[in-house]
Structure 1
Amino acid sequence: MKFALALAVLTAVGYSRDASAEINNCINITSVPATITTQGVYCLKQHVTTNLASGNAINVMVNNVTIDCNEFKLGNLASGSATQAIGIRAEGRNNLTVRNCGVRGFRTGVMLTNGQYRVEDSRFDFNTQTGLHVTGDGSAIRRNEIIETGESTVAGVTEFHGILAAGDMDIIDNNITGVVATSGGTRHAYGIRTTGMDSGVLRNNRVRNLVSTGLLGNRRGIWNQDGGHNTIEGNTVIMSGDLLIGDAGIRCGGGLILSGISRNNTILGTGVLNSALALINCTSVSGDYVNPL
């Protein structure tokens, strides 16, 4: 009984501690779906839960918006693994910030595309395909926790991401734990995946517990799919077991050489025979450490 009570208290603290950032001077979102059409500061002053099979819980249709959840939860767990809903959505917006949010149980926790965004100090857990998806030059993803992502049962889903990003941006000090592909076919698990990144910075991120499925399924810790001139510094990627063909610890970019510099990264658990796959297309400047165990 004491353990259950302690667990309940810890859970409550995890989503509602220090709920003061914007709790007084903001427009409270009390229920979802909600559409934001006026610029300003929006917030949660309580947990908000829903059961969306599709659509967006919060849809931002205007620039110059801050959403501060004050450590409260936007939850959709009741929808199950077949949900196609998105927690917070925006397309083509500028000066949009999402912070201090707990977003869980959506196909994608937050999807902000083709604009300029900040996502910071938030937690994304038990989302079924992608924790956080951001595209747009000049954006920033920083100090977030992305936990236990994956196992969507939507037909045709083959790729699962902690963070999915595109454009020249900063991805700094994020913790990705547990990206698990749905069993039953060839499916891939990415900690952080970027496309079209040229002159990006990925610094001090942690990636662990990636699970792919099928003989050709891949695990990729930090995968810069294309682009170059990136700075990859101080990240930690922990793989479990040998890296197979297609797996990777860190890939700096799309070119054969000089796609980006790597400095002070740690890649563990690559396997004795496959340690060369720990760093791909990287110019190692100093301090990178690869351990096969």
Structure 2
Amino acid sequence: MTKIVFSGLLALLASSALPAQAQGASCTQWIDTLPVDINAPGHYCLRNSIDTGLAGGAFNINASGVTLDCRGRGVRHVDADNDAFGIVAGGFGPVTDVTVRNCKLIGFATGIVFSPGSERVQIVNNDIVRARYDGISLWGRDSKIIGNRILEGRAATGLDYARNITVSAFQPGTPSTGNVISNNLVSGGADNGRIWGIRVDFSNGAVVHGNEIVGLRPNAGGFAVAIQIDGSDAQVSNNVMSGGEGTQFGIAGAPALCTRNIALGMTSAGFASCVRSVNDIEQP
């Protein structure tokens, strides 16, 4: 069972030994300095890793039809108490058909955020390390968050919560639909009274599949939730949730279907809250 829980961590270590994906041939615009405003469609690539002390957003995507590919390069914020964003999309209005992939964002307050009204977004194969507010936050529909790693989340000064992956409404007051959160690793969030691994908030029909949420460590008196579902018709399947210190909940909310999920060492696995629970496994 331990082998199953830590397979994502082993995969992460193995992937770090591989060269960055060789996709430079398809790049139409190269990024050499930050911050950068992306105001037109195109395929934008980060040439080299960068250390920065900037305020605001490092990458600001203000156009639809954009692919941002960091090619495995990293951007590290050198101020541990910053309020900066790694990637902000739709800050001046909704964006559609945007892909963000292969970026390593280290030490930003928020890793990746897509603003209300976003559609057909793909957030794929990114590493978000030591975020202090949100790792990935999406306001949008018909979008995919796949194969990302959210690691070592920490509490910002004055806050008592942390969210690693959050899918919210399409717009305030309008639920989102058609979102997929799949094959992500969330590991090591600490120093918060309330920690969410994956939170689906006012989003209907979400698919939460094949994720690993391990090592969330709330403060004394707080709690951690591996997967929170606030929306109808969600399907939660094949996820591995491993508890640790403090009060730990597996699934919270009422997904329409929970199947083949594994909960290890949780205060409560939460399978009883699912409308249907099929072949879910709880181990002490």
Identity of aligned residues (%): 24
Query: Could you state the TM-score of these two structures normalised by the residue count of structure 1?
Result: 0.82
Q: 2:265 aligns with which of 269, 279, 283?
A: 269
Query: After alignment, is 261-270 or 18-27 more displaced?
Result: 18-27
Q: Quick one: which amino acid aligns to residue 79 of structure 1? A: D
* Residue aligning to 2:173: none
Shift of 1:237: 0.4
Check 1:289–1:242 CA distance in 2 against 1; reply closer, same or farther (3 A cut).
farther
| Cα root mean square deviation, aligned | 2.1
Query: Could you state the TM-score of these two structures normalised by the residue count of structure 2?
Result: 0.85
Gaps of 5+ in 1: 1-9, 254-258
Q: Verify the 8 A CA contact 1:23 1:70 in the aligned structure 2.
A: no
Check 1:16–1:37 CA distance in 2 against 1; reply closer, same or farther (3 A cut).
farther
Check 1:159–1:198 CA distance in 2 against 1; reply closer, same or farther (3 A cut).
same
Check 1:30–1:152 CA distance in 2 against 1; reply closer, same or farther (3 A cut).
same
Dislocated runs of 4+, deviation >4 Å: none
1:206 partnered with 2:198: no
Shift of 1:158: 2.2
Q: How does 1:13-28 map to 2 (within 5 A)?
A: 14=16, 17-23=19-25, 25-28=27-30
Q: Quick one: which amino acid aligns to residue 158 of structure 1? A: D
* Residue aligning to 2:154: 150
1:175 partnered with 2:175: no
User: CA–CA distance in 2 between the matches of 1:250 and 1:190?
Assistant: 10
Gaps of 5+ in 2: 1-11, 169-175
* Residue aligning to 1:4: none
SS of aligned partner of 1:20: coil
Q: 1:283 aligns with which of 271, 275, 282?
A: 275
Q: Verify the 8 A CA contact 1:56 1:87 in the aligned structure 2.
A: yes
* Residue aligning to 2:82: 83
User: CA–CA distance in 2 between the matches of 1:32 and 1:242?
Assistant: 40
Q: 2:237 aligns with which of 233, 239, 258?
A: 233
SS of aligned partner of 2:16: helix
Q: Quick one: which amino acid aligns to residue 275 of structure 2? A: T
Check 1:90–1:96 CA distance in 2 against 1; reply closer, same or farther (3 A cut).
same
Q: Verify the 8 A CA contact 1:230 1:252 in the aligned structure 2.
A: no
How many residue pairs get matched?
259
Q: How does 1:31-180 map to 2 (within 5 A)?
A: 31-52=33-54, 54-76=55-77, 78-80=78-80, 82-91=81-90, 92-114=94-116, 115-116=118-119, 117-153=121-157, 155=158, 157-166=159-168, 167-168=176-177, 169-180=179-190
User: CA–CA distance in 2 between the matches of 1:233 and 1:171?
Assistant: 11
Greater Cα radius of gyration, structure 1 or 2: 1
User: CA–CA distance in 1 between the matches of 2:272 and 2:196?
Assistant: 15
Q: Quick one: which amino acid aligns to residue 38 of structure 2? A: I
